[in-house]
Amino acid sequence: MKTAETLLACCVVGLACFIGGQTIGARGNSVLDEASGTIVGRPSRANMLRTRMAATPSAASRTAVPHSEERLVADAAGNARSAGNTDEMRRRIVSGMSGTYIDELLAARDSAISRWPDRVTRPLRVFVREGTELEMWNPDFTPAVRDAFDTWVGARIPVRFTFVRDSATADIHVRFVSTFASGISGKTVWSRDGAHWLLSSDIQLAVTHPNGGSITAPQMRAIALHEVGHLLGLDHTRDTENIMSARVRVRELSEADKATVRLVYAVPAGSLKR
Ligand SMILES: [Zn+2]
């Protein structure tokens, strides 16, 4: 039987998202998002936690809390997927890929699907830490971010979210920062096990543009939609009509965004390589 330590021979992927321009949704004033996902090898459990803490310095206390429940779910699911299922995964992906950008996702992720285990009856717990100490804080940011999570659920995926007050019990942590260096507007870091099942995630969102201008609540919602798309396992697409475009020019999920995330959640996590 696999031990928790074996399962945690996992990878941490960081997605740093950058924006430029003043507004989101207006043609010609796009949000530039240059997410870069980097698998940092197969670190030990201790190394994984250190990596996450480096990405989210304030998370030191919560990273000490093991997400053992999530790991057990991933263990069972990972063991259940035999190598023989790769052909079935490929068949389902091919038959369902029309109207999606799954091909771009697979190209970016070395032919692997990373996703959360189904979490309908046991929703993923989301802790949103409000940035009331930030000069440009807007109380409308919190409902905007919550709406972004709920909007993805509306795409009919087998994942639900519940917003919790205790960060120690959360699977997903969201916090706001004043700004990032080099124009970063959002950052999503998630960890997964060796079978590509997602385990936990952290999102950071900037409340100001790189030039110092304030971000509006609708803009924050659009940025959060993009970051939650990463959190769910999506990557970038070239089509700027989609929220997962590297240059975010829209404020709502496209049919392709919805179809792609549904297809991701129609198959188990794992590599499509034979
Ligand atoms: Zn991105």
Q: How far is the CA of 105 from the centre of ligand 1 (A)?
A: 12
**pLDDT exceeds cutoff 50 at 221:** yes
Q: How far is the CA of 127 from the centre of ligand 1 (A)?
A: 21
Q: How far is the CA of 83 from the centre of ligand 1 (A)?
A: 31
Say yes or no: domain 11-268 is CATH 3.40.50.20. no
Q: How far is the CA of 15 from the centre of ligand 1 (A)?
A: 7
Q: How far is the CA of 210 from the centre of ligand 1 (A)?
A: 16
Q: Is the pTM of this model over 0.85?
A: no
| pLDDT for res 19 | 39
Q: DSSP secondary structure string, the chain? A: ---HHHHT--EEEEEEEE--SS-SSSTT-PEE----EEE-----HHHHHHHHHHHSGGGHHHHTS--HHHHHHHHHHHHH--TTHHHHHHHHHHHH-TTS-HHHHHHHTTTEE-BPPPEEEEEEEEEEE--TTSTT--TTHHHHHHHHHHHHHTTT-SEEEEE-S-GGG-SEEEEEES--GGGEEEEEEEEE-TTSBEEEEEEEEESB-TTSPBPPHHHHHHHHHHHHHHHHT---BS-TTSTTBSEE--SS--HHHHHHHHHHTTS-SEE---
Band of pLDDT at residue 182, cut at 50, 70 and 90: low
Residues 21-80 have pLDDT tens digits of 333 433 323 343 333 322 222 333 333 322 222 222 222 222 222 212 223 334 444 444
Q: How far is the CA of 256 from the centre of ligand 1 (A)?
A: 16
Residues 100-122 have pLDDT tens digits of 999 999 999 999 999 999 999 99
Q: How far is the CA of 137 from the centre of ligand 1 (A)?
A: 23
Q: How far is the CA of 33 from the centre of ligand 1 (A)?
A: 5
In the structure, ligand 1 is a single-atom ion and the residues with CB under 5 Å from it are 17, 33, 35
Domain locations in the chain?
11-268
Q: How far is the CA of 202 from the centre of ligand 1 (A)?
A: 14
